[in-house]
Chain A
Amino acid sequence: MEQPALRKRRNLDVEYTWTGRLFTWSGYILVALFTIFCLVPFWMVLINSFAAEKEIMTNGFQLFPADFSLDAYKMLFKSNQIYSSYFVTIFVTIVGTVLAMLVTSMYAYVLAHRKVKYRNFLSFMTYLTMIFGAGLVGFYITIAIYLDLKDSIWALILPYLLNPFFAFILVAFYRSVPYELNEAATVDGASEYKIFFKIVWPISLPAISTVSLFYALTFWNDFWLSLLFIDNHKLHPLQIMLRQLISNANMKQYVAGAAMDYAQAIPTYGLQMATVCLTIGPIILLYPFVQKFFVKGITIGAVKG
Chain B
Amino acid sequence: MGFFKEIYRNRSLYTLALPGLLFLVIFAYIPMFGHLIAFKKFNATIGFWNSPWVGFKNFEFFFSSGQWLEVTWNTIFLNSLFIIFGLGLAVVMAILLNEIRLAIVKRFAQSIIFMPYFISWMVVSLMVYALLNTTDGMINQMLKSLGMDAVGWYNNANFWPSILTIVYVWKMAGYYSIIFLASITGISSDYYESARIDGATRFQQIRHITLPLIRPTIIVLALLAVGRIFYGDFAMIYGIIGDNAALFSTTDVIDTFSYRALRQLGDFGMSSSVALYQSIMGVVAIILFNWIIRKVDKDSALF
Contact = CB atoms under 8 A, between A and B. Distances in A.
Given A9-B193, A60-B136, A207 B13 contact: no
A297 B186 CA distance: 7
Contacts of B34: 134-139, 141
A259 interface: no
A98 interface: no
A167 B302 CA distance: 12
Contact of A139 (B17, B31, B92): B31
Nearest to A224: B235
B168 interface: no
Contact of B24 (A45, A131, A162): A162
Main SS class of interface, B: helix
Contacts of B111: 284, 287-288, 291
Interface in A261-299: 269, 272-273, 276, 279-280, 283-284, 287-288, 291, 294-295, 297-298
Contacts of B161: none
A117 B7 CA distance: 9
Contacts of A9: 193, 196
A49 to B, nearest CB: 11
26 contacts: A14-B199, A14-B201, A20-B202, A30-B92, A32-B109, A60-B130, A60-B136, A106-B16, A111-B17, A117-B10, A118-B6, A126-B24, A130-B228, A131-B227, A138-B35, A141-B34, A161-B27, A169-B217, A172-B220, A210-B178, A246-B123, A269-B126, A276-B119, A276-B120, A280-B115, A287-B114
Interface of A: 1, 9-10, 12-15, 17, 19-20, 23-24, 27-28, 30-32, 34-35, 37-39, 41-42, 44-45, 60-61, 102-104, 106-107, 109-111, 113, 115-118, 120, 122-139, 141-143, 146-147, 158-159, 161-162, 164-165, 167-169, 171-173, 175-176, 191-193, 196, 206-207, 209-210, 213, 217, 221, 239, 242-243, 246-247, 250, 253, 256, 269, 272-273, 276, 279-280, 283-284, 287-288, 291, 294-295, 297-298, 301-302, 305
Interface of B: 6, 10, 12-14, 16-17, 19-21, 23-24, 26-35, 37-38, 42, 48, 89, 92-93, 96-97, 99-101, 103, 107-120, 122-124, 126-127, 130, 136, 170, 173-174, 178-179, 181-183, 185-186, 188-190, 193, 196-197, 199-203, 216-217, 220, 224, 227-228, 242-243, 263, 268, 271-272, 275-276, 279-280, 282-283, 285-286, 302-303
